[in-house]
Amino acid sequence: MNGTNNGGSDNNANGRNYPNQWDNQWHNQPGQPHPGQQTNQPGQPQQPTQPGQYYSARPTQPTQPSQQSPAQPGQPPHQWQHQPPTTPPATEPKKKTPLLKIGALLAALVLAIAGGIYVVTQTGIGQKLAEMSYIASADPGPEAFMDTVVNDDSADIVQSAEIPEGRLAGGVDGSSDNLYGGTGELSTCDAAALLDHLNANDELNTAFAEGIGINADDVERYVNALSPLVLMQDTWVTNHGFNNGHANPFQAVLQRGTAVLVDAKGVPRVRCACGNPLAEAWNGYTAPSTNNTAWDGYTPGNVVAVYDAGESQKQLKIRDLETGSAEDYAISDDKIDAQTKVTDAVTDDTPKTVPSDMDVKPDEELLNTLGMKPAENGDARPTGGERFQTGNGSFDPEAEAKPEEKTTEVDAAAFETNPNIFYIPFEGQRGWCLAKHYTDDFSLLCSPKALSTDLKASFTGNSLDIAAAPISQVVYKTGSGRFESGSTAHPSGPGGLRGEPTYLKEGESVTIRDFTCYNLSDRIRCEGPGSQFDAIDDDGLYIDESPEKVGATCGEVEITASRRTVTVRVANGFVDCEEAMEIAEKYVNSPNDGTYGQRNIQTIDNWGCAYRSLRDSEELGWSGNCTSSDTGGTFVLQ
């Protein structure tokens, strides 16, 4: 149910006119659908974290850090202040040389320079133990390729933006929603300035191409095809410094709020504060650690490692940092084509960095705490998302594993009752799911027993159909890319299925196409692309981690002009009742002057609201609904 379908007729419920637009609209205006909505993963905003003064870097030679002064007691540091490195990158060709043997005699060499502390640990005559660097959003970090190329105007927007704490963890696909943010029409990164630096120095350009893993002649074409965005979560990458005429790879966690250039497969490829080329994180050597407090709010449990989506994406779901709303960031066919031609031109002879260039050995003790294996082959860049799997789904060894991580996976074939039709009844009489083709798309429809509400499921135009059955199902809608509530004609199960059903037992899970369902101790849970739901025993249905269940009553608001009250109820998706009550009160008392829109369609703080009269109901008289363009959540007004 989305409450935005066309259809039905409108009649004045009682013929009265009211001076307030809301009353007049409720009883006299025809219903109109709210325009198409966009989907976003739910989350509550909070203030951005503060950059730290510490990171454990591994440059082969120390460089000058930024001139950002450390925070004084009682005063926060300048979080988004972008400081260029004090020395330009080397322009004289130099031969790559190993560290001096003198370093092998030291257990640790600590260099404290201008508020930044670099720790280089030596484990013996051989290779060093791999370590992680932690680089704050505005800090150029070690071995910067160039001065910052962050757009100053966009930096001001990022500085004032509220970047909510991320909900993703561990390895994530580059097509995942809200990995990145944007600054409207402004570019976060000056690609032209980046190319000016590279074009002026052949050695720098060659090293840059080496870090990306492309041919040096293709750098300009490649950079111009990347997308300027901002990291929405602390992100583990392979960073590259410029040293001795080469790209020097090392593992790093970049703070959320960092400006980057992103490729069409969703992977960050350039760090704009220093011009350093980036690659996917190289597993098997180190991992984000709990031993360092890199910046306020840092925790390895919120770090993500982005791997490529496999296919180029024509759009990425991002968050607009000015408005806070979810947006579809388009990637043109020309940009996708340019990137494809550049990567297709790469051969075995194309110079590129590989893990062995880090000249470190795996930190097996740290990796063991996460259940990650040490690297075995340092001569090739690792690929695939499975390499980031940990015992609990995150990079925090102390985090409790999610219940779904502990389930036993069952072969999908056990539930195929008809060709390409999968029926999944949940043991314990918790309901059922049906995976099949609906129209042209393969989707999932579920009827969980925990879903129990008297709220009606269907809308005619923008009004609640009081003759409809109560909400009793949840179905994945490929058009919106989310699970939505509705009603089913088969509450006890679908008909026409062959053979005896196989039950999904408690503690088991099954994956069918893009959907995975779990039978957990207190709920059933199903996940689809960009959306999920939990049907909790003796509680109800929660979609997209909403704080309120479907059918929950948020409260009542008063129509000032008529002294009538309106009941606000959660109908679908992610809805916060406090926010819903504020929007509902604005809507029912909205002025008739176009402040929020005309007639019965109004947009209030990223919520699209509409109403319709009900000629068949003396009890209700009218109904309406408001849908968030951010989350797709819907509440109804009765």
Q: What is the Cα–Cα distance from 374 to 364, expressed in whole angstroms?
A: 6
Question: What averages of pLDDT result for each successive group of 10 residues across the chain (638 residues)?
Answer: 35 34 36 34 36 33 37 37 37 37 33 36 63 93 95 73 73 91 81 97 98 98 97 96 96 94 98 97 93 80 94 91 82 98 97 97 94 93 93 83 85 90 92 82 90 69 53 88 78 67 94 94 92 94 94 92 87 93 89 61 85 48 77 88
How many percent of the chain have pLDDT more than 70?
71
Q: For residues 550, 556, 557 and 558, what is the CA-based torsion angle, rounded to 10 degrees? A: 140
Q: State pLDDT tens for residues 165-184.
A: 667 889 999 998 889 988 77
Q: State pLDDT tens for residues 456-467.
A: 755 444 444 445
Would you state the pLDDT for residue 595?
59
The tokens describing 425, both together, are 């009844």
Please enumerate in sequence order all residues whose Cβ is within 8 A of that of 527, keeping only pairs 6 or more positions apart, or say none.
515, 516, 517
Say which amino acid occupies 250. Answer: F
Domain boundaries, the chain: 133-370, 404-543, 552-637
Instruction: Please state whether 466 falls in left (phi above 0), alpha (psi between -120 and 50) or beta.
Output: alpha
Would you state the pLDDT for residue 52?
31
Q: State pLDDT tens for residues 15-32.
A: 333 333 344 333 333 333
Strand blocks (E) in 114-258: 116-121, 128-129, 133-135, 170-173, 180-182, 227-231, 235-243, 246-254
Would you state the pLDDT for residue 132?
95
- Residue 334 is inside which H or E element, if any? helix 333-344
| pTM above threshold 0.85 | no
The tokens describing 142, both together, are 């070690």
Would you state the pLDDT for residue 78?
35
Would you state the pLDDT for residue 403?
82
Q: Positive or negative CA dihedral for 200, 203, 205, 208? A: negative
Q: What is the Cα–Cα distance from 53 to 601, expressed in whole angstroms?
A: 50
- Residue 588 is inside which H or E element, if any? helix 577-588
